[in-house]
């Protein structure tokens, strides 16, 4: 039985740096999926050269390895946003992976199911995290320092991945014996976390003592800013380490790390400082 299918990729059109490999998440049947597996649909680019894809039925990870690695270095699962209807695969995916590569991290860009497949997306994220951990030695990764970074709807997905107690699909193979819980989470302008009564915390977010430390960043003029506030409040009450930044700098929503946007220039340095403080203190997650 093939637990992990890896194929070479010729080119990733959304990035100036090519991913070394593509990892297909599901070796045979994709749980809950009714459509046959096929290539994602490339949508028209949004203003600002924002590459977008949708109609994903064969979820995968694009693997970006740093040019220089240290033994057992950290890794991140990158979850692009797009309202759960599409993925801004460049702005909030491959561009973020390249940034993490410069810091010595291996980055796995998740192409999760769209459109409007929230439960399927969570299954994809859980499976992806388990695969990263199960094959940590292959990529020289420290399995106790594997985090998730999500943007917009990807931030919602990262929060759900971090605050869901049980695996949401039947185990496929031995890879699913590895924990799906990230060791740390970074939610960048997250959305859809305030879908409870009176815009309270979404009921599918179940914070407990296994929820990892979180870094949350949003701008005050972002229509989704309440998501950051209710998530941070719930984490504080549960005594989960949390760092929240609500920036005055304009940017609204969907700025990634693009030049010319104040918030996009500010948040990476804040994130690096947080990672440098948090990573040495992370406990090992038990399977």
CATH of the domain at 72: 3.40.50.1820
Over residues 134-152, the mean pLDDT reads 96
Give strand pairing partners of 114.
56
pLDDT tier for residue 185 given thresholds of 50, 70 and 90: very high
Average pLDDT, the chain: 91
Number of domains in the chain: 1
Distance CA 7, CA 25 (A): 12
Give the range among 1-10, 85-94, 115-124, 194-203 with minimum mean pLDDT.
1-10
CA atoms within 13 A on the CB side of 173: 15
CA atoms within 13 A on the CB side of 40: 25
Over residues 65-88, the mean pLDDT reads 93
Which three-class secondary structure state does DSSP give residue 127? helix
pLDDT > 70: percent of the chain: 92
pLDDT at residue 20 tops 80: no
Provide the strand spans (E) within the chain. 5-8, 21-24, 41-42, 53-54, 60-64, 73-79, 106-111, 141-151, 184-188, 214-219, 242-247
162: domain range?
A: 16-281
pLDDT at residue 283 tops 80: no
Distance CA 121, CA 79 (A): 10
Over residues 258-272, the mean pLDDT reads 93
Flag whether 205 is in a domain: yes
Residues 152, 253 contacting (CB under 8 angstroms):
yes
pLDDT at residue 14 tops 50: no
pLDDT at residue 134 tops 90: yes
Flag whether 173 is in a domain: yes
pLDDT at residue 16 tops 50: no
Residue-level pLDDT at 18:
57
Over residues 152-170, the mean pLDDT reads 97
Flag whether 3 is in a domain: no
Which three-class secondary structure state does DSSP give residue 164? coil
Over residues 227-247, the mean pLDDT reads 97
Residue-level pLDDT at 285:
67
pLDDT at residue 281 tops 90: no
Flag whether 286 is in a domain: no
Residue-level pLDDT at 249:
77
pLDDT > 90: percent of the chain: 83
Flag whether 225 is in a domain: yes
Flag whether 1 is in a domain: no
pLDDT at residue 69 tops 50: yes
Compute the 3-state secondary structure of the chain and give helix, strand, coil in percent, each to the nearest 5.
Answer: 30, 20, 50
Distance CA 84, CA 54 (A): 9
Give the range among 169-178, 222-231, 249-258 with minimum mean pLDDT.
249-258
Flag whether 287 is in a domain: no
Residues 6+ apart with CB under 8 A from 156: 84, 150, 190, 191, 192, 193, 202, 227
Flag whether 108 is in a domain: yes
Higher pLDDT, 132 or 46: 132
Over residues 220-237, the mean pLDDT reads 97
Which three-class secondary structure state does DSSP give residue 50? strand
């Amino acid at each position: 039985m093939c637990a992990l299918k890896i194929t070479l990729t010729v080119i990733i059109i959304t990035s100036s740096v090519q991913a070394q490999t593509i990892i297909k998440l599901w070796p045979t049947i994709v749980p809950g999926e009714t459509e046959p597996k096929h290539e994602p649909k490339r949508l028209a680019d949004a203003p600002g050269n924002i590459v977008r894809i949708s109609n994903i039925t064969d979820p995968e990870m694009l693997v970006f390895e740093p040019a220089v690695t240290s033994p057992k270095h950290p890794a991140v699962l990158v979850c692009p946003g797009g309202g759960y209807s599409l993925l801004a695969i460049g702005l909030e995916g491959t561009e973020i992976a390249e940034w993490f590569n410069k810091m010595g991290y291996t980055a796995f860009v998740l192409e999760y199911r769209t459109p409007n497949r929230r439960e399927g997306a969570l299954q994809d994220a859980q499976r992806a995290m388990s695969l990263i951990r199960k094959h940590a030695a292959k990529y020289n990764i420290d399995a106790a320092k594997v985090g998730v970074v999500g943007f917009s709807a990807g931030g919602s997905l990262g929060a759900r991945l971090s605050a869901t107690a049980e695996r949401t699909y039947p185990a496929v193979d031995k890879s699913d014996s590895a924990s799906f819980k990230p060791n740390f989470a970074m939610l960048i302008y997250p959305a859809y976390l305030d879908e409870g009564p009176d815009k309270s915390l979404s009921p599918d977010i179940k914070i407990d003592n296994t929820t990892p430390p979180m870094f949350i960043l949003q701008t005050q003029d972002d229509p989704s800013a309440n998501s950051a506030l209710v998530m941070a409040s719930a984490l504080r009450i549960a005594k989960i380490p949390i760092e929240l930044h609500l920036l005055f700098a304009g940017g609204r929503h969907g700025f990634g790390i693009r030049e010319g946007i104040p918030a996009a220039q500010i948040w990476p340095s804040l994130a690096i400082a947080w990672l440098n403080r948090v990573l040495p203190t992370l406990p090992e997650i038990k399977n």
